[in-house]
Amino acid sequence: MAVQVQLSSLWLPSPTVTVPFVHCKSKTKPSTTSLASSASLSSSLSSSAPIIQTVGGKQSSWHGGNSNNSNGSIEAYEEECDWADLDADLYYWTKSLRPVQWYPGHIAKTEKELKDQLKLMDVVIEVRDARIPLSTTHPLMDQWLGNRKRILVLNREDMISMADRNAWATYFAKQGTKVIFSNGQLGMGTMKLSRLAKALASDVNVKRRSKGLLPRAVRAGIVGYPNVGKSSLINRLLKRRMCPAAPRPGVTRVLKWVRFGKDLEFLDSPGIIPMRISDQAAAIKLAICDDIGERSYDVADVAAILVQMLARIPTVGITALQNRYKIDMDGTCGKTFVQKLALHLFNGDTHQAAFRILTDFRKGKFGWISLERPPRL
């Protein structure tokens, strides 16, 4: 019997099945089970190794559990979850939702000023969120930087697994991109960043001396999306609070040059984001990771999609969600899970329930995981 599952205003049709959550690869060919009623659906989900056919027409087996995949094996991790299919489903889930758009007034002015300042920079440091490196790069960044020397910083390295880190390190190494993993809160990677910035721009003063000019400090501009940790990195480097920083987007609103010793200057800049975000799957990830203003999205919708993503990721899975909140997922969609949590803990307040799920993810209560994997080269 065909079953449809609704997430907010989004309907997820499936020819024979039934649950939008799990779509992971399996080495054994599973069988398809027809479900005649919601009762049989519930019983099949409660079995030890359910066989589920999901949106997209493929069949796959999934064993609930919170597996530990911190050994850094990229190949093993890729086998466990089909990230390309997850990305495709995420795009489909977001298709009918209200678009996530956020463009505060100060960003347009900052973008113009930043383009002018880029001409003065010897090296550009682009900071991204290590959980979503592809979603936290501006689509025009390559065009703005041109051939200018660049360092890529994946901040919040403590929020992803070793397998995720290894996968991204390999990906960027193949592209010839210099990448540093950092933790702006604790200062990890900051000294390596300053050394690399000086090394990349060492030829600046060589050229100046050849022209009979005195040496000057290397100018390094720090750019990136809102709330990816740009100001925190600078504060850790300086070992004092020179730039305003807070765990929410939109705190830094003006460009500010900060001197680091005698031979290095940093430009702290507000987060730059496109006026319109055409990739709504990326926009949802920004919302999940708190890299975009909260007023730009519906918290309940974002939390519902996060639930569906986590259920598909083997290192979390349905079991981890059920164990954390002490409620049954019983084969329902993320929207229904949020509503059940609201009744269970928040007297029916779905906003509070959704906010709890998002906060738990942001604080690593489900373990440290990335929501993106590198494209296959």
Q: What is the pLDDT of residue 166?
A: 92
Per-residue model confidence as pLDDT tens digits over 305-346:
999 999 988 888 898 999 999 998 876 689 999 999 999 999
Average pLDDT over residues 47-66: 33
Q: What is the pLDDT of residue 346?
A: 95
**Burial level of 88, CB count in 10 A (0-12/13-18/19+)?**
middle
Average pLDDT over residues 195-209: 82
**Burial level of 29, CB count in 10 A (0-12/13-18/19+)?**
exposed
Computed over every residue of the chain, the mean pLDDT equals 75
Fold (CATH) for 83-98+277-363: Conserved Hypothetical Protein Ylqf; Chain: A; domain 2 (1.10.1580)
Q: What is the pLDDT of residue 234?
A: 76
Task: Say how many C-beta atoms besides its own lie within 10 A of residue 205's C-beta.
Answer: 17
Per-residue model confidence as pLDDT tens digits over 93-122:
998 888 888 776 667 777 778 778 888 888
Q: What is the pLDDT of residue 37?
A: 40
Alpha carbon distance 21, 53 (integer Å)? 10
| H helical segments located in 119-252 | 141-145, 162-175, 190-200, 203-210, 230-238
From start to end of 16-92, where are the E strands?
A: 51-53, 59-61
Per-residue model confidence as pLDDT tens digits over 10-46:
434 333 333 343 333 333 334 433 333 444 433 443 4
Give me the residues paired with residue 152 across strands: 126, 179
Average pLDDT over residues 260-280: 82
Q: What is the pLDDT of residue 250?
A: 41
Q: What percent of the chain has pLDDT over 70?
A: 71
Per-residue model confidence as pLDDT tens digits over 206-226:
888 888 888 888 888 888 888
Could you give the C-alpha distances from 344 to 61, 337, 363, in angstroms and in order? 30, 10, 21
Cα-trace Rg, the chain: 23
Q: What is the pLDDT of residue 240?
A: 56
Domain ranges for the chain: 83-98+277-363, 104-268
Q: What is the pLDDT of residue 199?
A: 83
Amino acid at position 1, single letter: M
Q: What is the pLDDT of residue 301?
A: 95
Alpha carbon distance 326, 329 (integer Å)? 10
Confidence of residue 254 (pLDDT cuts 50, 70, 90): low
Output the CATH code of domain 104-268.
3.40.50.300
Q: What pTM was computed for the model? A: 0.72
Alpha carbon distance 361, 173 (integer Å)? 29
Choose between 252 and 139: higher pLDDT: 139
Q: What is the pLDDT of residue 106?
A: 66
